[in-house]
């Protein structure tokens, strides 16, 4: 039967793991933003290729975080590739980021 102490220890271990996972996700998202700063504007396909070339994990939720939640990235247009329309994302420092 689990004791209160065991339950608390298990909860803390899970919290540390969750916190470490979130920290790693943020590092990955920051890498994408930095890559856009140096190489953008770019499509998601180009970002995925860059992640693969760098030996990094390709995770949709991290790409979404970098492109939609970061104050330093914005959708700046669209481009047609092989008949498909792809969004272009760029690094941008807005006036609100100061």
- What are 15-60's pLDDT values in tens digits? 666 788 888 999 999 999 999 999 989 999 999 999 999 999 999 9
Q: Give this prediction's pTM.
A: 0.74
pLDDT on residue 10: 64
Q: Is the pLDDT of residue 94 over 90?
A: no
Q: Before 41, cis peptide (omega within 30)?
A: yes
Q: Which domain holds residue 76?
A: 4-97
Q: What DSSP assignment string belongs to 52-94? A: HHTT----HHHHHIIIII-TTEEEEEEEEETTEEEEEEEE---
Q: How many domains does the chain have?
A: 1
- What are 54-90's pLDDT values in tens digits? 999 999 999 999 998 899 999 999 999 899 999 999 9
CATH number at residue 52: 1.10.10.10
Q: Is the pLDDT of residue 96 over 60?
A: no
User: Rounded to 10 degrees, what is the CA torsion of 70, 26, 34, 52?
Assistant: -120
């Amino acid at each position: 039967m689990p004791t209160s102490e065991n339950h608390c220890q298990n909860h803390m271990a899970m919290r540390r793991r969750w916190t470490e996972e979130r920290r790693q996700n943020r590092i990955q998202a920051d890498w994408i933003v930095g890559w856009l700063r140096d190489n953008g504007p770019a499509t998601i396909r180009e970002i995925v290729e860059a992640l693969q070339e760098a030996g990094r994990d390709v995770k949709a939720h991290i790409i979404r975080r970098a492109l939609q939640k970061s104050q330093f990235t914005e959708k700046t247009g669209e481009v047609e590739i092989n008949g498909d329309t792809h969004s272009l994302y760029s690094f941008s420092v807005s006036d609100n980021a100061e």
